[in-house]
Chains A and B, each alone.
Chain A
């Protein structure tokens, strides 16, 4: 299978600061990456979809100025939570999809997630 990593796995920050989360595809080229948010005992909610080299497409209700997504290369996407507040505390998960590797085509591969706590 294909491996997706996230860094950091856990982060604690003060209210008002910004936090950057990285998502990397380790052994394949990620033509599309997805960012999800998961609340306790809730399902994963898609926040945005990003294609390499273009602007992210945000789901309804997700503030694009709050959650900055950059998909700068075929192996890296970043999510920056700007001016974080306690209500942004959550579990953030990324996934990646490739169209360049036939055996992996169409499937989304998920990272292990990042636990963000804003004090």
Chain B
């Protein structure tokens, strides 16, 4: 079945550091890939998405590229801010089959001032 694996946290970085959170997936079809973010006390929010191979999703300085050859969707940001501290979830959904979203375990990110 479909699954998502993302790097374990917590990840602690200093402000303005470069961020990478690794995510790989297993899917039988052609899934859409997502990154969700959960800020403290809030619900999950869609951060970015990519619907086909080689697509790049981007938002708020974050980027992720749908790499079919490596089955990866790593999240990157060139210069993180304290306000980026949150839990990040990689996820996939096969829209051609059903609406179910399969999530990774989440990676907690701490940014130090």
Contact = CB atoms under 8 A, between A and B. Distances in A.
Contacts of B4: 43
Q: What range describes how many residues of A lie at the interface?
A: 20 to 34
Given A43-B4, A43-B89, A44-B89, A112 B42 contact: yes
B44 interface: yes
B100 A110 contact: no
Interface of A is mostly: strand
Interface size for chain B: under 10, 10 to 19, 20 to 34, or 35 or more residues?
A: 10 to 19
Instruction: Name, among A93, A109, A110, A113, the residue most crowded by chain B CB atoms within 10 Å (CB to CB).
Output: A110
B96 to A, nearest CB: 13
12 contacts: A6-B43, A41-B105, A41-B106, A43-B104, A44-B89, A46-B100, A46-B101, A49-B100, A97-B99, A107-B46, A110-B44, A111-B43
Interface of B: 4, 36, 41-46, 89, 95, 99-106
